[in-house]
A and B are shown apart, each in its own frame.
Chain A
Amino acid sequence: MNVTLPFDLVAGWLQQHAVLPLLYALDLMDWEEISFGWSLFAVYGLAQVIIAYAICLPLERWRPVERWPDQKAVSVDIVYTLIARVGLLPLLTFVVFTQVQYALNGWLADHNLVAPTLERLVPQLLGQPVLTFLIYAIILDFAEYWRHRLSHIFNWWYALHALHHAQRQMTFWSDDRNHLLDEVIGFVWFMAVALLIGVPPMQFPLLVLLLRLLESLSHANVRLNFGWLGERLLVSPRFHRAHHGMLAAGVRSVNYGAVLPWWDMLFHTADFSADYAQTGDPTAEEAMATGSYAAQQWAGLRRLVRTVAP
């Protein structure tokens, strides 16, 4: 049975009945080829949200770390998630990433240089999508560890990243709570690494969905660890909560890994203690924690300006 078929058919329906008529009406039919990539990306993004909701919400209700009288602050995180996984960012990914990838790879091809890909280095990987993806995922996760760690080391960068840490009501919705500039930097970082190793954007959609699910789960408000061995194989909600702890915000944090804790173990930043820390950043202004989407973005910009030009 082809597991991706239902997603693809929904994306196809969306493309045929909504996206193409819209492009046609807006005189944008020259984008029809790329737009199908966006439709696919958006459908898989929506599936990520629905599956994360179906799995994480019952877990959060079953064994919550914290209980709050209201969850107003969480509602803004839902907006972040929808923008990041269904709307604007997937669109940016396709319009920018694919164009840059084409241009760079084409330029290399003109000079008889072939952009490196794992499958060219190891031809046996052709036709082994799961194995190929796992290797790509490990390399990207390593790069993500360093991006994340650097975002804590440089004060100007943390001024933006503090928005992610300001949330005191951390739930599975909080994964995509990021400042737009931080997202752009993260996007450029990912793009640079992906171009270096030739990651195809939509070749492994189901596996991307699985990884994003793990990242949502790691932010969930749930008392859950994966046991001694499991904690050392995959990032758990407990492991990542230590990173979001009040005392860990800022320059001296722990547990930077997104999916794999291996890099924290390798670079001595892992904290496997059994505590479930309270989350938040005491240095962040209140607007970053409880403000509207716009107020949070604006607060991030203010903090960036204060840091760069005190």
Chain B
Amino acid sequence: MRSSMPKILLGLCFSWLLAAPLTGAEAADRSVLVVNSGEASLSVIGLASQTETGRIPVLREPHHVMLTPDGKDLLLGDTAANELLFLDPSSFAIRKRITMADPYQLGFSPDGRMLVVTGLARAQVDVYEAGTYRLLHRFPLQSMPSHIDFTPDSGTAFVSLQGTGKLVALDLRAMTVKWDVIVGKAPAGVMYQNGRVLVAIMGEDNVAVVNPANGAVERRVRTGRGAHQLFRSPDGKLIYVNNRVDSSTVTLDATSLAPIHTYPIPGGPDDLVFAPDGRIWFTLRFARQVGVLDPRTGKLELIAVGRSPHGIFLGLPARPVS
């Protein structure tokens, strides 16, 4: 078995780059990429200026982005075009396109060896070999597979099935389904946290805490109607839960899962990124905007982008990685 240490080290290195405070020059250098899923384009926004500096056309319906484990490419899935695009993670220039069926959510296993892709419209989850992007296995799953996360040992992927209310555990070594269990109405965001799987239940108002061994729902943490997606803060102390119907984000204590604070985020918050200055950039699906929240004050600034912004990525600094 190949050691995954180099990739882990590289990952740590990139985590540092994303979290480290920036000098003015570095901030001016960096951009945020926003995926406008409703009008086939990508908005490039200056991190410091908070203004859109460019618009990149793509083919049909892009949704999510994911940095490759080596940090060299930013992957972008265009679902309706059946394309996976490779972008420069600093400049966002498109380097390459490959054919891939319905790439909706993208997730690399923690060891960096597999790319798991949910095809929400096609009711399938595909497992690709990272790097070659050769299809290793396809799981037909009813229905609407949407979000993914993994156990730290990369042995299991958890996928929410929005259409059937299930969470499914996929054994990535045997390529079999370990279990599928109903966890709530229209489950969406998935996060492996402290030995449990957290699932945002979009058709309800809570996050289900699931036992990864058997899928049993152990308890529910109320966050707000339309709980959609979960994000871990850079220091690992908080979990942000975006609520689609209530249009808010709620912070949970990452250890106890106790709700701490609710921020109203009008416009349908979806994905987010944490900026080095402590602020949080949200895509607002229904408002054609990105919201920049200062969690210390609750102040929300808005930046106009394209229709139905979905994925978002804080570009890497345009400097060689040492």
A interface residue numbers (CB < 8 A to B): 2, 4-5, 8-9, 11-13, 15-16, 20-21, 24, 27, 29-30, 32-33, 36-37, 40, 98-99, 101-103, 105-110, 112, 114-115, 117, 119-120, 126-127, 129, 198, 200, 202-203
How far apart sit A29 and B226, CA to CA, in the bound complex (Å)? 8
Most A C-beta atoms less than 10 A away, residue of B120, B144, B247, B286 = B286
Inter-chain contacts of A103 with B (CB < 8 A): 121-122
Q: Chain A binding site: helix, strand, loop or mixed by DSSP? A: helix
> Quick one: CB contact mask for B266-290 with A, threshold 8 Å, 1 for yes?
1110000000000000000111100
A215 CB to nearest chain B CB (Å): 24
B109 at interface (Cβ–Cβ under 8 A)?
no
Complexed CA–CA distance, A20 and B102 (Å): 25
Per the bound structure, the CA–CA distance linking A262 and B152 in Å amounts to 63
Inside 8 A of A110's CB, which chain B residues have their CB?
Answer: 101
Task: Assess A105 versus B80: contact at CB under 8 Å? Given A12-B268, A99-B121.
Answer: yes
Q: Given A8-B288, A20-B226, A110-B101 in contact, is the A119-B307 Cβ separation under 8 Å?
A: no
A–B pairs, 11, beta carbons within 8 Å: A12-B286, A20-B245, A27-B185, A29-B226, A102-B80, A105-B81, A109-B102, A117-B59, A117-B81, A126-B59, A200-B40
Name the CB-closest residue of A to B55: A127
Given contacts A29-B186, A36-B285, whether A102 and B79 have CB atoms under 8 Å apart is yes
Q: Answer whether residue B21 sits at the interface, using C-beta atoms and an 8 A cutoff.
A: no
Q: Does B119 contact A13, Cβ atoms closer than 8 Å?
A: no
Within 8 A of A (CB), among B133-152: 143-144
Distance (Å) between the CB of A289 and the closest chain B CB? 41
Q: How far is the CB of A232 from chain B (nearest CB, A)?
A: 33
**B122 close to A102 (CB less than 8 A):** yes
Is there an interface contact between B286 and A13, defined as CB atoms closer than 8 Å? yes
Report chain B residues within 8 Å CB of A40. Answer: 38, 307
B39 CB to closest chain A CB, in angstroms? Answer: 7
CB proximity of A244 to chain B, nearest CB, Å: 37
**Given A98-B121, A109-B99, CB of A36 within 8 Å of CB of B287:** no
> Could you say which of A9, A21, A32, A108 contacts B202, with CB atoms under 8 Å apart?
A32
Bound complex: CA A202 to CA B60 (Å): 9
- Given A9-B288, A203-B39, A20-B244 contact (CB < 8 Å): yes
User: Given A200-B40, A200-B60, are A106 and B244 neighbors across the interface (CB < 8 Å)?
Assistant: no
> Which residues of the partner chain A approach B225 to less than 8 Å between Cβ atoms?
24
- Give A120 to B100 CA distance when docked, in angstroms: 15
Using a CB–CB cutoff of 8 Å, the interface residues on chain B facing chain A are 38-40, 57-61, 79-82, 99-102, 119-122, 124, 143-144, 162-163, 185-186, 202-203, 225-226, 244-245, 247, 266-268, 285-288, 304, 307-308
Residues of B within 8 A of A9 (CB): 287-288
**Chain B residues closer than 8 Å to A129, beta-carbon distance:** 57
User: Are A4 and B307 also in contact (CB < 8 A) when A24-B226, A105-B82 are?
Assistant: yes
B102 touches A102 (CB 8 A): yes
* Cα distance, A290 to B143, chains bound together (Å): 46
Q: How far is the CA of A15 from the CA of B268 in the complex (A)?
A: 9
Given contacts A13-B286, A30-B203, 5 further A-B contacts (CB under 8 A): A16-B268, A30-B143, A30-B144, A30-B163, A32-B244
Of residues B38, B58, B124, B287, which shows the largest number of chain A Cβ atoms within 10 Å of its Cβ?
Answer: B38
Q: Which of the listed residues A37, A107, A200 has the most CB atoms from chain B within 10 Å of its own CB?
A: A200
Known: A13-B286, A200-B60. A112 touches B99 (CB 8 A): yes
User: Which residues on the A side are within 8 Å of B285 (C-beta)?
Assistant: 12, 36
What is the bound-complex CA distance between A275 and B171, given in angstroms?
73
In the complex, chain A residues whose CB is within 8 Å of the CB of B144: 30
CB-defined contacts of A24 to chain B, threshold 8 Å: 203, 225-226, 245
